[in-house]
Homo-oligomer: A and B are copies of this chain.
Amino acid sequence: MIVGVLGGGQLGRMLALAGYPLGLKFRFLDAVRDVPAAPLGRRITAPFDDKDALTRFARGTDVVTYEFENVPVDSAAFAESFAPVFPPPKALATAQDRLSEKELFTRLGIPVPAYAPVSSPEDLAAAVERIGLPAVLKTRRFGYDGKGQWVLRTPEDVEGARLAAGGGTPLILEQFLPFDRELSIIAVRSRSGELAFYPLVENHHREGILRLSLAPAPHLSAAVTAEAESHARRLLEALDYVGVLTIEFFEYQGRLYANEMAPRVHNSGHWTIEGAETSQFENHLRAILDLPLGGTAVLGAAAMVNLIGALPDLGPCYAGRDVHVHLYDKKPRKGRKLGHLTVRAANPAELAERLAPVRALVEAAGG
């Protein structure tokens, strides 16, 4: 079986590493040549909208998926003439527009912070009037890792944002919730409709970039887990979704508010490689190949620490107890995800003990 992957970044790399044991082969289409997945399959270097390249890429595959959520929806849809494409391109289209995403959440009864579309300075003024401050102004499309976001706290901030609001780029204003923490759920649905959920994870960001995930999220009530799974189930079924889907939530006053969804394997699920019975990468492949899904239980407790911008001294990381190193073979650059470390332990107390020196090493590297 040949799996075609649109995008050849670290998510594609980890998909392939999970897929070879299942006897799969891989093809990658990416505009850049030396991407992290390059050594792990046949590589086609071309822009995503190159129809000839897409044809060469998709023809002969058994299934096509994507590892990058800004893949053009048209490219994913075009690949459907050669092989089934999962997750379905309509899920990709929804996830690429923060407004459609929020509207879908709302339609499904999944709470979200108050929001309003903004296409002009007048829209902005009206939205601020309705939602209040603080609020976050975001581009509707192509944002990632906190890029394309402005926090508005004061009337002066709003004044400064008027120019952006008139620039022709569709925006969305969202209420800034003084949330207690960020949680995410990694959910998976197979072609047969089988569902599975990993335990909720607590995520810590800095400068808009995920730095740390704790699995399972500490102090989690059964009610919050049930709420997250219910939201995820409705979303997966509404989209007739196939594959792994992630929803990021804000936890605020004991309730969950959906922030965004990612129609793919997700950084906050990397801990599953060693920390869960089956990794998110393997379960994504099982889902799109219509195999039974693997177990999603955590093996004890796990933490994922991102390596951002610069690598730490890896010697002490390797020497740490049950520390797993994952490098993506990318050149260091400020703000870039170069790899991650997963620390595993039998329980949260032991995890905290093993994690502390690892975090100190990563902090020391600057990142």
A residues at B contact (CB < 8 Å): 13, 17, 20-23, 25-26, 39-41, 277-278, 286, 291-292, 294-295, 299, 314-315, 318-319, 321-322, 324-329, 339, 344
Cβ-defined partner of A21 (8 Å) among B291, B299, B324, B344: B324
Ordered by A's residue number, 10 sampled pairs between the chains whose C-beta atoms are within 8 Å are: A17-B20, A22-B325, A23-B329, A26-B39, A39-B41, A291-B315, A292-B315, A292-B318, A292-B319, A295-B322
Closest to A292 in B: B319
Chain B nearest CB, measured from A364 CB (Å): 18
Q: How many copies does the complex hold?
A: 2
Contact A325 B21 (CB under 8 A): yes
Chain B nearest CB, measured from A331 CB (Å): 12
The complex places the Cα of A318 from the Cα of B21 at a distance, in Å, of 12
B residues near A21, Cβ cutoff 8 Å: 17, 324-327
B residues near A22, Cβ cutoff 8 Å: 325, 327
Chain B nearest CB, measured from A5 CB (Å): 14
B residues near A26, Cβ cutoff 8 Å: 39
Contact A39 B25 (CB under 8 A): yes
- Identify the 5 closest CB pairs spanning chains A and B, nearest first: A23-B327, A292-B319, A292-B318, A21-B326, A291-B318
B residues near A20, Cβ cutoff 8 Å: 13, 17, 39-40, 329
B residues near A327, Cβ cutoff 8 Å: 21-23
B residues near A319, Cβ cutoff 8 Å: 292
Could you say which of A21, A39, A292, A325 has the most chain B C-beta atoms within 10 Å of its C-beta?
A21
B residues near A291, Cβ cutoff 8 Å: 314-315, 318
User: Interface residues of A: mostly helix, strand, loop or mixed?
Assistant: mixed
Closest to A294 in B: B318
B residues near A39, Cβ cutoff 8 Å: 20, 25-26, 40-41
Closest to A36 in B: B20
The complex places the Cα of A315 from the Cα of B23 at a distance, in Å, of 14
The complex places the Cα of A197 from the Cα of B13 at a distance, in Å, of 31
B residues near A322, Cβ cutoff 8 Å: 277-278, 294-295
B residues near A328, Cβ cutoff 8 Å: 23
B residues near A318, Cβ cutoff 8 Å: 286, 291-292, 294
> Known contacts A23-B327, A39-B25, A40-B40: does B292 contact A321 (CB below 8 Å)?
no
Cβ-defined partner of A295 (8 Å) among B292, B299, B321, B326: B321
B residues near A339, Cβ cutoff 8 Å: 23
Closest to A273 in B: B21
Closest to A277 in B: B322
Closest to A41 in B: B39
Could you say which of A20, A277, A291, A328 has the most chain B C-beta atoms within 10 Å of its C-beta?
A20
The complex places the Cα of A324 from the Cα of B20 at a distance, in Å, of 12
Cβ-defined partner of A299 (8 Å) among B25, B299, B314, B315: B299
Given A21-B327, A26-B39, A294-B318, 5 more pairs with CB closer than 8 A: A20-B40, A40-B40, A278-B324, A294-B322, A295-B321
